[in-house]
Amino acid sequence: MRNIKLVLQFDGTAYHGWQMQKNAPTVQETVSGAIERITGSVPQLTGVSRTDAGVHAKSFVCNFKTNASIPSERIPAALNTYLPPDIVCLFAEDAEDSFNARFSAKKKCYTYYILNSKQPDAFLRNYSWHFPYELDISKMKKAAKAFLGKHDFVGFAASGFTVKTTVREIYSLDIEKEGNLVKITVTGDGFLYNMVRIIAGTLAFVGCGKIEPESMAEIIASKDRKRAGVTAEPQGLFLTEVFY
Amino acid sequence: MRNIKLVLQFDGTAYHGWQMQKNAPTVQETVSGAIERITGSVPQLTGVSRTDAGVHAKSFVCNFKTNASIPSERIPAALNTYLPPDIVCLFAEDAEDSFNARFSAKKKCYTYYILNSKQPDAFLRNYSWHFPYELDISKMKKAAKAFLGKHDFVGFAASGFTVKTTVREIYSLDIEKEGNLVKITVTGDGFLYNMVRIIAGTLAFVGCGKIEPESMAEIIASKDRKRAGVTAEPQGLFLTEVFY
């Protein structure tokens, strides 16, 4: 049986995340339906991660097994014929038998956008978190350094998760300002449930003076969710790259 | 009576244009409703131009008369409380009695975005025209020069308009490529119905080799709608600035 790897892009605004759910439209369900149209059978579709409602992906990887004979280079255009315009298949290839979009992932990169302006923006409403209090970027950059490396991030996870370990390694955490958009880019070996959004919310609290950058290392070490900042809104989050 | 000038930004995706219509949501109707909430009476709201369904504005000017006492600097935040998130009031001021958003406009700038890529883009679907055939930007730039200056643009107007004259002056028409986005920026003293979209569609025809750049001046002079290109899709069009 062939093992097809797909790279998708999706605007998550209209979906209740990736993962199949009863009574709510999800990206997984929509993509499965399009795959069924081109292969003739319902796929077992494995995604790199669950995503929350409203979260976006510039590059989301998934895989499925099939006996269909369609050449992989023709799959993107074929799928895009059946996909709604807010989900696009960018790339497809025949992967090795052992490839699993979720378990083979070595590294992921997420980007979080904060709109730091007094008034909201009609075009960014679904793609950023509107934060009206002035953010001090240099303080945020200082605090960001404390996240680098291997830490137990249990204080930066929403409850309700089931994972073997809450230790994760963060390779980079960069903050840039472009106009009134603050762009937070984070790369790591994996992320706990809501972890990137809690990091973004905590960095916003640092930027507006509610948390001192010097106390960041201690807050991480405390493993206490209450000491971190708020969970930033979902629509500012983009999965931007997955490394295998 | 005070004469209030407003600068709005709106994502036109969900609206049937600016102008009030029966049985269809419009920007004018939505903004009028928000003004009524803060002033207590239904305004006579004049917009700089009608816009088509799906067309956007980064800077749309309108004005209305009122006896309400709210300071103009407090109007944007007050209106934004009642406006849906796809319409934002950016600025308000007390204008001179004679100011009329439509008739006082001296110059307008529009931007049109063409996504020139094989596959569509989930994030640009409502903000660009997806054109999959390769565009030759240098040919488009060459053709653009023929539009500059005063011409009778009747061949670049949709039928159904009623205007005194179809002569308009174009001050600048620039074409840039940023990644796979082709950005057409045009400034003029005014534009006929669908004129910017027909210019964009014609330039796309030049870019893909259907029309020779050398014949552009002659096509304009022919005043024949059939010789120009298609009317580019509405969602690529943004009103970006109005000059008074």
Which of B111, B119, B126 best tests the A interface by mutation, with the highest count of A CBs <10 A? B119
B189 in reach of chain A (CB within 8 A): no
Averaged pLDDT for residues B111-132: 96
Averaged pLDDT for residues A148-161: 90
Is the pLDDT confidence value at A144 over 80?
yes
Other beta carbons within 10 Å of A9: 22
Distance, in Å, from the CA atom of B194 to the CA atom of B83, rounded to the nearest integer, reads: 28
Report yes or no: A140 and A128 within 8 Å, Cβ to Cβ.
no
Q: Identify the pLDDT of residue B20.
A: 79
ipTM of the complex: 0.90
A-chain residue closest to B118, CA distance: A77
Confidence class for position B198, pLDDT limits 50, 70, 90: very high
Q: Identify the pLDDT of residue B70.
A: 96
For B125-165, the pLDDT digits (tens) are: 999 999 999 999 999 999 999 999 999 999 999 887 678 89
Sequence-ordered alpha helix ranges (H) in chain A: 27-39, 75-82, 137-144, 195-207, 216-222
A233 in reach of chain B (CB within 8 A): no
Cα Rg of chain A, angstroms = 19
Q: Identify the pLDDT of residue B163.
A: 81
Q: Provide the annotated active-site residues of A.
A: 52
A179 in reach of chain B (CB within 8 A): no
Report yes or no: A184 and A114 within 8 Å, Cβ to Cβ.
yes
A-chain residue closest to B238, CA distance: A123
B-chain residue closest to A86, CA distance: B122
How many contacts does A have with B, using Cβ atoms within 8 A? 52
- DSSP characters over A103-129: TT--EEEEEEEEE-SSS--TTTTTTSE
Q: Is the dihedral of CA B20, B23, B25, B29 positive or negative?
A: positive
Is the pLDDT confidence value at B37 over 90?
yes
Cα Rg of chain B, angstroms = 19
Which of B18, B59, B88 best tests the A interface by mutation, with the highest count of A CBs <10 A? B88
Query: Which A-chain residues 52-81 have CB contacts (< 8 A) with chain B?
Result: 56, 76-77, 80
Closest residue by Cα to residue A94 from A61, A60, A78, A71 = A71
Q: Identify the pLDDT of residue B3.
A: 97
Question: Who contacts A109 (Cβ-Cβ below 8 Å, separation ≥6)?
Answer: A185, A186, A187, A239, A240, A241, A242, A243
Q: What's the mean per-residue pLDDT of chain A?
A: 95
Catalytic residue among B11, B52, B86, B94: B52
The partner residue sitting opposite A80, judged by closest CB among B86, B87, B119, is B119
Sequence-ordered alpha helix ranges (H) in chain B: 27-39, 75-82, 137-144, 195-207, 216-222
Distance, in Å, from the CA atom of A90 to the CA atom of A109, rounded to the nearest integer, reads: 18
Closest residue by Cα to residue B157 from B55, B207, B240, B228 = B228
What are φ and ψ of residue A2, in 5° steps? -80, 150
B-chain residue closest to A78, CA distance: B119
A-chain residue closest to B59, CA distance: A122
Is the pLDDT confidence value at A125 over 90?
yes
Distance, in Å, from the CA atom of A107 to the CA atom of A124, rounded to the nearest integer, reads: 28
Averaged pLDDT for residues B35-44: 95
Other beta carbons within 10 Å of A171: 12
Chain A partners within 8 Å of B87 (Cβ)? 122
Chain B partners within 8 Å of A127 (Cβ)? 123
- pTM, full prediction: 0.92
Per cent of chain B over pLDDT 70 is 100
A122 in reach of chain B (CB within 8 A): yes
**B15 three-class SS:** coil
Averaged pLDDT for residues A192-197: 94
Chain B partners within 8 Å of A11 (Cβ)? 122-123, 125
Closest residue by Cα to residue A71 from A125, A120, A2, A18 = A2
Burial of residue B243, with CB atoms counted within 10 A of its CB: 0-12 exposed, 13-18 middle, 19 or more buried: exposed
The partner residue sitting opposite B119, judged by closest CB among A10, A76, A125, is A76
Question: How near does any CA of chain A get to the CA of B210, in Å?
Answer: 25
Chain B partners within 8 Å of A128 (Cβ)? none
Say whether A88 and B10 touch across the interface (CB within 8 A): no
A217 in reach of chain B (CB within 8 A): no
**B152 three-class SS:** strand
A-chain residue closest to B121, CA distance: A88
Distance, in Å, from the CA atom of B165 to the CA atom of B169, rounded to the nearest integer, reads: 12
Q: Identify the pLDDT of residue B21.
A: 79
Other beta carbons within 10 Å of A166: 17
Confidence class for position A164, pLDDT limits 50, 70, 90: confident
Question: How near does any CA of chain B get to the CA of A53, in Å?
Answer: 16
Say whether A120 and B85 touch across the interface (CB within 8 A): yes
Report yes or no: A189 and A107 within 8 Å, Cβ to Cβ.
yes
Say whether A119 and B77 touch across the interface (CB within 8 A): yes
For A19-67, the pLDDT digits (tens) are: 888 888 999 999 999 999 999 999 999 999 988 899 999 999 999 999 9
Say whether B122 and A89 touch across the interface (CB within 8 A): no
